[in-house]
Structure 1
């Protein structure tokens, strides 16, 4: 699938002399060095490229832009993976604070931070949105500090955008994963972010800005037993009939399909008649005898009852698994998930949740 379907080439220019870039490299398989990274586009001043440290095992991508509001800045973040994935020999997975960049050993020494900075600076400048400053952070101490700041900014954006599904007439679809999963579509509602963490407000702004065009409006239609008639019709059309119905807040009956970059997977534990929640970083077996990676191979790109990919932000949703009993049905969580939920989940519920090791 050509990236020009998603990004207007007249608006974005990333042709550089330092490395080969092309839309053909979107979705290429890359093996090599893994880099932990984050992305943050925010309102700020200044121009040019600032490099902090030498590329080893971490990379913070902080882009400051002027002439836009905060929701537009947050939407422009979705441009970052699209640009980075056009670099030959580089694969950019996941979003926000959970980014993993894989760089082929063949290009690692050739692909300097200055080169990456040039690509991002040129691309964002070509949008004519105001001043642009690209800061690339490879120093671990500075990276850790800025990672925490990025998390807080993303958290605040999520909280500010919190409205109910009943307050809007439309949800948004996302087909960015169709590069690898041709029939997959995510449905993003105000109370259910995408599994990779995109919230409704970001998808709405991205659709209106027409910079990243894999988001699109989906009229809700009538709601019947937790399902939306028009949403079901659109999902069936996009999936070519493979998925006919979805319940946004269920994993037991017609759950949404799971895309490439789920932050978490929720699964059913028959022996407990309850749910477990596991994060991508948990490498041990879950109570159903499978690791995150093994579960993901089963569910990716599919609708599999008893499993569903979600984002961390969805755990805070008032409609969290509402159709299946919500938090009272959760009986197990990986340690990172438990640490994340302990500040907002009822203490009585927390006592019943077994924590992995």
Structure 2
């Protein structure tokens, strides 16, 4: 490798460690040794330090041992006529720089607590665009995309492009390929993030263009995100640096794009990233490291033209992408799913309570439909003025020898994601509460309502082609026609709901597995029944059945229940045999309907976590969106860290929001009668179903008996509320008896 690269990286590491040590000494003098030191709302302490060194940095004094370790990692300066194997020294210097920068960034949170915006999205109007360290809510929400393949990796961009237009082109190219873009560092008085804003590009987690910070030290937030994913989803233990680094090389496909002049501190960060197996691809003429070794292929590649930056980066990282071309005039991919179309940018709006709107997918006789036919009945975009509103009914007819009525709602639910993948379109809701917004920018590029049909036809064939042969789409904007279709659609919705609601675990001999998350939690095995949806909330029994039809060798396999070993707890021999094999002989048995006795395994993707509250003789549940304290004395992030590695943890279990109101929810422990506490946001979200469930169990006001954080976050506070309300859990047999 180049001696010049090693020289720059080592010199940069010395500079970074020295600066961090200076900040540390100043902070000690000003705040004292016991000053708390942390990134907000995370159970992973300072994540790079915690994952690599196993050190829990909780207060300022704890950082001293980290900085001492950094100094011990610094290799000798390179001198003339002395030649050594430079790569090892370069890697050590890079790791020292990264660890020191994490200390420095944590101190920044103390010195300037408002520097970073604790949000998923930027407040551009007020000039607050730097998001800093992602909290655990963001990690859980976004980490699942790295599990299921929606996000194959990320590009860490440092510096700035020559102009905003080139920055926009690079960012959008990565978005089209479904990659996240993590941004930091300035170049010539500007940053890549600020260039995107100038070019009119929306940035933030929702668009996968994440502005971590204006300094090179903010690169630690990208590496910290990767390491937290390894601990949260992969079960990697803190301090096992070899495993955490190998995990990232093998499973987190990331790389660095260095745009602009590369100084010594940038070189140190690039050297640090090589430890993770993340190569650097630069636009300038810098010394290269071409031999393979730590990274999959080259370590540092230079002088890459901007129009080839994304392709070359993906090639060097060894990332294999499958990107389908969709016949629409706008960019298309999951990166645009979170994009908002604001009021002033709207060309056409449909639904959302402002006009009648519905979506309906139905099976059809193959002889009555024409594959690929898309019709717009009524005014199209070219027929209306900017800012207009139209009624809308999107109807899709599907025909095929393997198509079944059970698949209709599965395909229908995909409309939300598939339409949102188009740049300049916003889709919220589903069924008869759908809401569409189409931006002026999309219309300027030639987008019409017909393109919605083209998207659905192409993506349904791509994703579900194994179960149908023909797909025809009709889009209605004629108000009389829309008002005629909506009652028919609502009747179809009711029939579907009754069909799934009418299914029972007792009446079904075949359940389905889901092992999608095993890439992160190797021993986790979800088994999904009609009355026990997947803990991530994304899969129910019908979804898994459809998935198996589409991909017979995929993660959703049929599981025969076999002999009933315990009807109350939900334990079957066939399920146990499958779980034992699928968990690599780690889990021999678990129960569907209990969290007290050998509950199901839980992975980090669960929507909610339930836990026993012994004093209240009941259970609580908390959803991942709630960031406050729970009556267990732990927040959601801590609970997920404790049980989320694919473990069977008596007293705790992960589950979906929908599962709370299913008939079999913890029925082995007394059922929903045991539910005594949940966050208010979750309670309000599922209130209608909770009220119906209360009617079913003969306690009409049951929903009001469930405490929330407004009633207390300790068991003593909750018990007083339960006794006042006459909650049934108070008089039930002991839950741990």
Q: Same fold (TM over 0.5)?
A: yes
Q: Is the contact between residue 510 and residue 558 of structure 2 (CA under 8 Å) also seen in structure 1? A: yes
Please state if 1:73 is matched with 2:408.
yes
Structure 1 match to 2:692: 343
Change (3 A) 1:342 1:333: farther
Tell me by how many angstroms 1:219 deviates: 0.9
Aligned 1:92-111 pairs, distance under 5 A: none
Structure 1 match to 2:623: 279
Structure 1 match to 2:541: 200
Q: TM-score, normalised by structure 2?
A: 0.35
* 2:650 maps to which of 296, 299, 305: 305
Structure 2 match to 1:181: 521
Structure 1 match to 2:601: 257
Q: Is the contact between residue 13 and residue 122 of structure 1 (CA under 8 Å) also seen in structure 2? A: no
Q: TM-score, normalised by structure 1?
A: 0.66
Change (3 A) 1:205 1:125: closer
Tell me by how many angstroms 1:338 deviates: 4.8
Structure 2 match to 1:215: 556
Q: Is the contact between residue 15 and residue 119 of structure 1 (CA under 8 Å) also seen in structure 2? A: no
CA distance in 1, matches of 2:418, 2:572: 34
CA distance in 2, matches of 1:276, 1:191: 20
CA distance in 2, matches of 1:176, 1:295: 21
Please state if 1:169 is matched with 2:512.
no
CA distance in 1, matches of 2:325, 2:148: 16
CA distance in 1, matches of 2:641, 2:448: 33
Structure 1 match to 2:634: 290
Please state if 1:64 is matched with 2:390.
no
Structure 2 match to 1:14: 324
Change (3 A) 1:33 1:290: farther
Please state if 1:231 is matched with 2:584.
no
Tell me by how many angstroms 1:251 deviates: 0.9
Q: Is the contact between residue 171 and residue 200 of structure 1 (CA under 8 Å) also seen in structure 2? A: yes
* 1:160 maps to which of 487, 495, 499: 499
**Secondary structure of 1:192 counterpart:** coil
Structure 1 match to 2:251: none
Tell me by how many angstroms 1:229 deviates: 1.1
**Secondary structure of 1:187 counterpart:** strand
Tell me by how many angstroms 1:243 deviates: 2.0
Please state if 1:122 is matched with 2:458.
yes
CA distance in 2, matches of 1:205, 1:350: 34
Aligned Cα root-mean-square deviation (Å): 5.1
Tell me by how many angstroms 1:232 deviates: 0.9
CA distance in 2, matches of 1:133, 1:120: 8
Tell me by how many angstroms 1:16 deviates: 4.8
CA distance in 2, matches of 1:295, 1:156: 38
The structure in which a higher percent of residues are strand is 1
The structure in which a higher percent of residues are helix is 2
Q: Is the contact between residue 125 and residue 132 of structure 1 (CA under 8 Å) also seen in structure 2? A: no
Structure 2 match to 1:329: 674
When structure 1 is superposed on structure 2, of 346-355 and 152-161 the one drifting more is 152-161
Larger Rg: 2
CA distance in 2, matches of 1:14, 1:344: 44
* 1:270 maps to which of 607, 611, 614: 614
Q: Is the contact between residue 363 and residue 404 of structure 2 (CA under 8 Å) also seen in structure 1? A: no
Change (3 A) 1:174 1:235: same
* 1:42 maps to which of 352, 361, 365: 361
CA distance in 2, matches of 1:237, 1:288: 33
Tell me by how many angstroms 1:248 deviates: 0.3
**Secondary structure of 2:612 counterpart:** strand
Change (3 A) 1:242 1:218: same
CA distance in 1, matches of 2:604, 2:375: 31
Aligned 1:21-40 pairs, distance under 5 A: none
Ranges in structure 2 where 5+ consecutive residues have no aligned partner: 1-146, 150-321, 342-358, 387-393, 423-429, 432-444, 476-485, 711-737
Change (3 A) 1:350 1:133: same
Q: Is the contact between residue 120 and residue 134 of structure 1 (CA under 8 Å) also seen in structure 2? A: no
CA distance in 2, matches of 1:266, 1:153: 34
CA distance in 2, matches of 1:260, 1:152: 37
Change (3 A) 1:48 1:257: farther
Q: How many residues align?
A: 318
**Secondary structure of 1:271 counterpart:** helix
Change (3 A) 1:332 1:124: same
**Secondary structure of 1:203 counterpart:** helix
Ranges in structure 1 where 5+ consecutive residues have no aligned partner: 4-11, 55-61, 88-94, 97-109, 136-145
CA distance in 1, matches of 2:325, 2:548: 25
* 1:241 maps to which of 555, 573, 585: 585
Tell me by how many angstroms 1:166 deviates: 2.3
CA distance in 2, matches of 1:200, 1:188: 6
Structure 2 match to 1:315: 660
Structure 1 match to 2:239: none
